[in-house]
Structure formats: C-alpha cells, structure tokens
Structure 1
Amino acid sequence: MVDDHQFTIDGLQVRLADCTDIELVAHASTVADLFAEPAALDLVVLDLRLRDGSSPTGNVEAIRQHGVPVLVLTSGEDPYLVREAARAGVLGVIRKSRSPEEIVDAIRAAVRGEVVPTTDWAAAIDGDPEIDLVDLSPQHRKVLELYAAGETATRVASDLKISRETVNDYLRRIRTKYADAGRPAPTKSELYKRALEDGWLPFPRRRKK
C-alpha cells in the first residue's frame, strides 16, 4: 500500500484482519520507498495525492514497471487526479468513504487481476474529455460485448453463428483500433475496461444494503 496517512493504513489493516485470503504485506508513503525493500506483491493500493508531489500517472507507471497492478483508494476530492489515474491503467478507483465490505471486495477482485468497475471510476471516465472513443461496427461491438463480458471466443462464435477464426480476426481488429487511438488493450481485462469506457458494457450498479 502507498499512502502517507497512517490513519488510512491502520484502517485498512483492521479491515483486512479477519480476511484469510488477503494480507497487507508492506506499506510506504511513496512508491520509491515501497519498492526499496523486496516484497512479493500481488497488488498495490495507491492513494492519489501524496505529499512528495508525485503524479498519479508517474506512480502508476512506476508500479506497473514492477509487474504489479494498481487499485486506487482515494478521498476523490480532485476529479482531475481521479481521471488521470483512470487513464494510467489502474484496475479501478474506489473512494475511502465506501463501506469496509465494498473496499475489501474491491481489493479481493483486484488481487485476482479483475477490473473493478465502480461508480467512482465511471464518473471519472464520463467526465474525461481526453478519452478518444473508438468507433466499432455493429458486429465488432457484438463480439466485444460478449468476449469482454467473459465469454470464450468459441462461445462468441457459437452465439453469433460465425467461425472462431472470424471472432479472433475481429478481436485483432478491435485491439488494433484501440491501439491506434492510444488506448491499447492487449489483454481480455483491458478489453473489458475499454468496453466499459466506451459504453458497450454497463457499469455495475452499486449494491444497496
């Protein structure tokens, strides 16, 4: 975890104390300090506004260079920083004001490598004028919707009554379009993020208690 507020770190430790599948193994006030000592990390939970003056983009890129995905946990008071983090390639953005259960569920999903499509992330994307939307044909959209939602290429082919080779060709073309737009999507989870960003898939609604 990278956060320079001890209260937040202590709070997360309390929230994870009863979890048998998640452990807070290291924390630091800067990204550089986190990686100063070797540690096996499956995920970094990152605060956006650090007192060292670092930027969300720089921090996310530095963490991902170590091969570790990022989940942003933020107070969300600065929409620009939230949008910057969303563009940088994080798995999700969640507010510190969310319930302990929601935060733990988000961390658990991110540890599994899953995208965490919260309403906070959706709001950041909706308000981002710099996202270059990709125009897809109706058939490409159908393939993306099914595949990004979790179906295999074989199942997509069966549902749309086309060959598996055609599905894979469409996916290559879709990935090329996103790469050309400066929004690469080399993995299935990245395609899922792009489908959410462009409105091809709906953001999950927040569960009511």
Structure 2
Amino acid sequence: MTTLREPGAGTRDASPRSSPQPVRVGVLMGHESALDEVCAILRRRAPEIDVVVSTTGWLQLVRSPRFPTDVVVVDYDLADAVSLEGRIRSCRAAGAAVVVLSRSGAEEVRRRVVDAGAAALLTGPVPAADIVAAVRAVAAGAGARSAQRRDDTTRQDEGHAARAFASPRLSQGEEQALRLYVTGRSTQAVAAAMNVQYETAKTYLRRVRAKYRLVGRVAGRRSDLIDRATEDGYLR
C-alpha cells in the first residue's frame, strides 16, 4: 500500500547561534519500515535538513505540492511502473538532486544510477552518518551548481537547454494513446479503450515516438515512453 507522510514536527534545536540554510528533502522508499528509518535518521542527526515529503509511491512524491525538493533520497529497489532512470531524470529535470540507496553494489546498479545522473549512490547496509553526509554534500553541490548556472549561462545557452528538453506537440489522439500505453496497456488494449482500430492506435504511438525523436528525446521502448510521459506530466 502506498503511503504519503506529512512532515513531522520532529525535535529541532531552536538555538539562534547557528542557522544554516534549510535543506528541503524528499524521501521515496519501497517499504514503510525503511521510509521511517531514513526519515528518522535525517530528522535526528541533521537539524538543517527538513524532510518535507516522504512516501512509498512515486506519483505521490511528484504530485506533492512540496515537490520539487532540493534533494530526493530514492530507494533503488522500489517496485514501480516508472523506471529508476525515469525517476532520477524526472527529479533532475524538476531541479532536485538525487541520492540513491541500494542493497546491492553490483556494477549494473552503479551503471544505471550513474548513467541516469544521480548525484550519489550508497550501497549495502549504510551507516546513518553516511546518509546524512551524502545528503549534505549533494545539497551543497546542487546549490553551488545552481548559482554557477545563474552567473554563467547566456541567453544562447538557455535556448539550447530549452530545446534539449522540448516537449513535442501531440494531437488529442496521440496524447490519449500515450497516456494509456504508459500505464501498462498493450497496443490492442489502447485501441479498445479509445474505441479505435488496432492499426489506428499503433499509428498514434508510432507518431508519438517520431515526434519525441524529432526533439532529440529517446522514445523507442515502452520504458522510454514511460520516462518521457513522466517528465512531461502525462503520467499522473
């Protein structure tokens, strides 16, 4: 069962002697016990870290009015229709850096996490101090990179970035087919849901893939389309 937690009051040191900039953190874990543990670690050991959203469901995270956060702690082993890569890239596109926790340190795990652009990967039984240190380091790095981009990015660079993340303009039929397909339906099931012929649904999906390719975004596989739909807000 997916759960979404409201941020708890916790125990904070209200002393005015030290007031570091708060770090807003989201936590996404596959099991409630792990969710409780990670949230407790961050709240107890890092007064400057504010866990503003914690959940066991991806859609609950991205639909939260508190998202995006500065950092999102993500469970590698979370079972979800949206791929790990899609979750990481969506967080990054929204402006949140990602720390991934994984029980396994296998090369395949590292490759997926690094290729998707996560800021940090912690593997195996992770000491509480390491989780806190990783979130702090990633938050500091994200802040520095953000400031650097504001100082150095020219209008031309901004134009290039906008084109890199451009969303294709889909027709009503194409959008409906995409929304149905990325929820796990087969092309035949998409056709039935839309009350159209199989070939018509197939054509809609082919056009969706072609339009994403035209703006430089991979959309060849179902998992790719799930990632694109998540990034563009269709998977809600």
TM-score, normalised to structure 1, is 0.50
Structure number, greater radius of gyration: 2
Question: Which one has the bigger strand percentage?
Answer: 2
TM-score, normalised to structure 2, is 0.45
